[in-house]
Structures are given as C-alpha cells and as structure tokens.
Amino acid sequence: MSGIYDEPELYELACAYRDIPAEVTALLAWCASYFTGGAGEAGAGDGPGVSSALELAAGPAEHARELARRGLRATTLDLSPAMCAYAAAQAKAAGIDLRVVEADMRDFAIAGPGDTRAAFDLAITMLNSACHLFTLDDLVRHLIAVRASLVPGGLYIVELAHPADFFDRVPRTSSEWTVDAPGVRAEVRWGGRTDRIDPVTQVTREHMTITATSADGTIRTVSDVVPNRFWTLTEFTAAAELANARTAAAGAPPGSLDLVATYGDFDEGTPLDAPSAWRMILILRRS
Ligand SMILES: C[S@@+](CC[C@H](N)C(=O)[O-])C[C@H]1O[C@@H](n2cnc3c(N)ncnc32)[C@H](O)[C@@H]1O
C-alpha cells in the first residue's frame, strides 16, 4: 500500500499554499545576518554569503530547487525513493543542477561540493520534517550529522510546528484546507484535534487525506497515517547541547552547534512569542 510520501506530486500540490520564493528570500536574509563562514563576519557584505546548501527530509525539494535557481550548489537528502526520483526529475525538467541523495537524516555523511566533508554553508529542514525524528536519540544523532556537514560559521535553519499548536486551546494552523492550482483543485485534511498526541512519546498518529480533482473530473485520493513527533524549543536546544558533548567526547574536530536566533514566521519581524507567530524557526550556527 502506498503512503503520502509515495505520492510526491499530490504531496507538493497539498503544500502549494506556501510561497517558496518568499520563504527562500527569508532564508537567505537570515544567512546574510548570521552566517559567519567563508571570508565574512555575520552581516558582512551585500549578499547572503552562502554558496552551498543541503536540504534534509527534502521531499520534492522545493526550497533546494529555488536555492539552486538562485545560484547555490544544492544537495537534497530524503529517505523516500519516490520523493528523491520526483525531486531529481523536477530539477532536470527545469534545467536546475541538483544533487539528490537517498539517505536517512538520523545518520548521514554527505560530502559537500568539491567532495570535501563538512562543506555546506547552509543546511535546512523545512515544514516540520524534524517531526520524523521520533526519539531524543534520533534528534541527537541527526544534529551530530548536521554539525559534521557544516563549515565553521555555517547555519542550520529548522522550521518546526509552533508549540501553540499543541499547548494552546486554539491551534494556530488549520488542519483542513483547499488548494487551487492550474487545472486541479485539492482538498486536504492533515491531523487536527481528533488525532490525540501520545502524552508519553509526544508522537501523534496524524490521519491525512488529499483528494485532487482535475478539470476533466478525474479524482485522485491518497490517505495515510503519518506519525509526527512534537519537539519543544527547550528539548531541541538541550538535544543540540547533548550532540555537542557527544561530538567533543568522540574527539571530532572542534565546533559546536548553537542556537543563535528564533523566529515565528518567515520574516525578520515576527518573534517566536508573537501572538501572530505560527511556525517555530530555529537558527543554529556551527562554531
Ligand atoms: C512533510 S515531508 C516534507 C518535505 C519537505 N521538507 C517540504 O518542505 O515540503 C517529510 C519528508 O521527510 C522524509 N523523511 C521521513 N523520515 C525521514 C528520515 N528518517 N530521513 C530522511 N527523510 C525522511 C519523507 O520521505 C518526506 O519526504
């Protein structure tokens, strides 16, 4: 039986409410503010200062493709063969140079551009895909691998669900929405209050359905149950400290991964604790 990650086209359609170019513009603005690798200091120069990017749990790799379109050398990683094939095909069709790696984000070692280890200026994990790291050990191992993939001064930008979605009486995101794309309308239901978070594991088995109706009346549907681990800010930063300690104990080259900023949306002006914040975006930097 196929699941949602075996249906990249439907997945991308369901997520078409996002403004990917605007999100990538925000990512590059944060790079201009916080990246200290290469020759520059944070905020130095006019551009973002980064020239290579690694998108983790990339799925269709929309952000990586946009970064590549803007001149960065982009690599993507995903566990799903269908997602990897789709990302590669989309990049090829658009004439974009994209390296696609099928691997597990819990433990990976990818050579950067030029085949050097630890050579990415920027790593990103978008749309709460870190929810697929189910345990503390998963998250710590993931952060160790990310740290090893970054140049000193390199950034890891992670977009997570906002904690208010779990702790407030009224969630900040909707679990039902409709997308109108050229020649097709998609009705999406993903999670929602009927899916209960397991209070011990912090994993929610989210029931989702996408129904796509084409202009000629053809209907395609996918339904799945997708496990989603909820991470708090304090858990995430504690996991980074644990990853740093394990890295140092293993005698790896020096350099820790530290939280340098948080945001509540893809812009400079929405703090994480703003009432309008609806994402939890964390920026970590490798020293
Ligand atoms: C919600 S989708 C997000 C895709 C993409 N980040 C985006 O913004 O559209 C989650 C992706 O994580 C991938 N994934 C799940 N577990 C993974 C793992 N352990 N390692 C790598 N990728 C994983 C799935 O195959 C899927 O493509």
Cβ atoms of 240 and 255 within 8 Å: the answer is no
Q: Decide: 72 in ligand 1 pocket, CB within 6 A.
A: no
Q: Looking at residue 42, what is its pLDDT?
A: 47
Q: Average pLDDT for consecutive 10-residue bins of the chain (287 residues)?
A: 89 96 98 85 63 97 98 96 98 97 95 69 97 98 96 97 90 93 95 90 96 95 96 97 95 92 95 96 97
CA distance 276 to 287: 32
Please count the residues of the chain: 287
CA distance 8 to 84: 9
Element (H, E) at 179: strand 176-181
Specify the residue with its C-alpha closest to ligand 1, atom 26: 59
Q: Decide: 82 in ligand 1 pocket, CB within 6 A.
A: no
What spacing in Å lies between the alpha carbon of 12 and ligand 1's midpoint?
12
Contacts 24+ apart (CB under 8 A), 187-194: 187/211, 187/213, 188/14, 190/14, 190/226, 191/228
What spacing in Å lies between the alpha carbon of 122 and ligand 1's midpoint?
18
What spacing in Å lies between the alpha carbon of 129 and ligand 1's midpoint?
5
DSSP tag of 56? E
Instruction: Name beta bridge partners: 132.
Output: none
Single-letter amino acid, residue 123: A
Q: What are the Cα distances from residue 186, in Å, to 7, 13, 128, 226, 253?
A: 14, 7, 21, 19, 48
Q: Decide: 98 in ligand 1 pocket, CB within 6 A.
A: no
Q: Decide: 58 in ligand 1 pocket, CB within 6 A.
A: yes
Phi-psi region of 252 (alpha: psi -120 to 50; beta: other; left: phi over 0): beta
Specify the residue with its C-alpha closest to ligand 1, atom 1: 129
Torsion angle, alpha carbons of 237, 241, 244, 246, to 10: -120
**Exposure class string for 27-37: b at 16+ Cβ within 10 A, else e:** bbebbbbbbbb
Q: Decide: 8 in ligand 1 pocket, CB within 6 A.
A: no
| Position in ligand 1 atom list of the atom nearest CA 15 | 9
Q: Looking at residue 253, what is its pLDDT?
A: 85
Q: Looking at residue 170, what is its pLDDT?
A: 85
What spacing in Å lies between the alpha carbon of 43 and ligand 1's midpoint?
31
Cβ atoms of 178 and 195 within 8 Å: the answer is no
Number of H helices, E strands in the chain: 7, 11
Specify the residue with its C-alpha closest to ligand 1, atom 10: 129
Q: Which fold has domain 4-165+231-286?
A: Rossmann fold (3.40.50)
Q: Looking at residue 115, what is its pLDDT?
A: 64
Q: Decide: 104 in ligand 1 pocket, CB within 6 A.
A: yes
Q: Looking at residue 138, what is its pLDDT?
A: 98
Q: Looking at residue 44, what is its pLDDT?
A: 45
Q: Decide: 7 in ligand 1 pocket, CB within 6 A.
A: no
Q: Decide: 5 in ligand 1 pocket, CB within 6 A.
A: yes
What residue ranges do the domains of the chain occupy?
A: 4-165+231-286, 178-228
User: Which residue in the block uniquely carries the two structure tokens 């909707």?
Assistant: 174
Q: Decide: 160 in ligand 1 pocket, CB within 6 A.
A: no
